[in-house]
A and B are shown apart, each in its own frame.
Chain A
């Protein structure tokens, strides 16, 4: 337990680890749903501090990674138009579409702007009434309410030159799809804390009961992950499968009612394709008919795009927990953060990026976990 002193409270980390070691009697496979959790796990070597019987499988919870190539290509197409100001979160800049990314579109003269908040994009629309402003609305349940509010505001303020390119995804249908896969080995879930800050925990009891898996709502800090694992392992050892909240400081069981009401008003549930995985029923949101005017796909007819997935990229398997990043042939050779083949190598929540950044290779040795953040972090 060499790296345990890097934990914010090493004594507590040790107690949690000791408890997990004392509880485990059999092998268990847990999936951390969120990519932010994956980064914490790899950065701190948490998977290597855990008993050998506890395996952590990385889940699909990186919104940038699961955005389908087709949507990225549409974004690139719209962003290249001279009348358009294309606004996006910084994470999307280097996500490869077919042949290029937003970073390149800007170097070729496209007006691509990075915003901190979707409301910044709305402000840009107000300031540039003669241009079309399009915001790239991706993300899970945590990001959907801010984007919903922005569309609601646009409508309320009568801003006509603003639209949203929507590719929002929902976690529970992804959990369902993972559990239904014949090769699924997952026996318990660490659910994504901030998704539950918005949605609450109401969607999970039925999933936990039907698939007989414990679902533990878990935060992002190293100690949160250890506590989540501890509670999941306890349940598994006792043969229980309930929903448990290990992130009570930020998650109320009912979620955020104001955000839920806005989601209900602005979006409607739809099937969505997940990059590398395929279509998952009911796994996303699109704008509801009342807000159809603000749908960028409706406003700009983007057709005739020839989407080509790089054949070498196995990010679909990585996102489903079927393959560890370094087991991909292209990892670190054909595919690096500088020339990524898949979004999972670029995104700040991508599993391939985590393995690359923290130099995690399956060499049977404990890698040197960085004590400080790497200089000029290549993660956006």
Chain B
């Protein structure tokens, strides 16, 4: 959640008197509020956190960061389905390093979404 992801402004409009933009994050597009960076223009990059552009970023560093986040699966974490992720977390642990020792000793309650 604390992750802020660089994105590129595709178009700018207004909604309920608020400056909003469509922003592309390496293929995923989201609606983003520009009120905190009012002079951001189409084609520019910014770091975006929970739907708000917070600071301008130059194109080169934005691209590099996006590439890295993509490689590390962090874009999936940020934009993937959180219910699926929570369900996976509740039901499927990452394998414990020691094959013959159980990872989970506590009683389990399986929860379906």
Report A's interface with B, CB cutoff 8 A.
8, 34-36, 43, 61-64, 89-91, 93-94, 103-104, 106-107, 114, 116-120, 139-140, 142-143, 145-146, 149, 153, 156-157, 192, 194, 197-198, 220-221, 249-252, 256, 258-259, 262, 332-339, 346-349, 356-357, 359, 361, 372-374, 376-380
Contacts of A34 in B (CB 8 A): 2
Q: Are A153 and B90 in contact (CB under 8 A)?
A: no
Interface contacts beyond A93-B82, A378-B88: sample of 10 additional A-B pairs, CB < 8 Å, sorted by A:
A61-B2, A104-B111, A117-B51, A119-B31, A120-B51, A145-B52, A145-B54, A197-B55, A333-B105, A380-B89
Contacts of B50 in A (CB 8 A): 89, 116-118, 139, 143, 146
Q: Are A338 and B64 in contact (CB under 8 A)?
A: no
Contacts of A104 in B (CB 8 A): 111
Q: Are A114 and B94 in contact (CB under 8 A)?
A: no
Interface hits, B1-22 → A, CB 8 Å: 1-4, 16-18
How many Å lie between the Cα of A259 and that of B92 in the bound state? 40
Q: Are A378 and B36 in contact (CB under 8 A)?
A: no
Please tell me which one of the listed residues B36, B72, B73, B87 contacts residue A259 in the complex, with CB atoms under 8 A apart: B36
20 of the cross-chain contacts (CB-CB < 8 Å) are: A103-B86, A103-B111, A106-B113, A117-B31, A117-B52, A119-B31, A142-B54, A146-B33, A194-B4, A197-B47, A258-B36, A262-B36, A336-B106, A346-B89, A347-B1, A348-B3, A373-B76, A377-B76, A379-B77, A380-B82
Contacts of B30 in A (CB 8 A): 116-117
Contacts of A333 in B (CB 8 A): 103-106
- Given the known interface contacts A197-B47, A256-B37, A259-B36, the answer about A63 and B2 at a Cβ–Cβ threshold of 8 Å is yes
How many Å lie between the Cα of A189 and that of B85 in the bound state? 32
Please tell me which one of the listed residues B16, B105, B112 contacts residue A334 in the complex, with CB atoms under 8 A apart: B105
- Given the known interface contacts A119-B33, A145-B54, A250-B55, the answer about A107 and B111 at a Cβ–Cβ threshold of 8 Å is yes
Q: Are B1 and A348 in contact (CB under 8 A)?
A: yes
Q: Are A43 and B72 in contact (CB under 8 A)?
A: yes
Q: Are A337 and B1 in contact (CB under 8 A)?
A: no
Shortest 10 CB-CB contacts between residues of A and residues of B = A373-B73, A117-B51, A90-B82, A378-B89, A93-B86, A146-B52, A91-B1, A197-B55, A114-B82, A259-B36
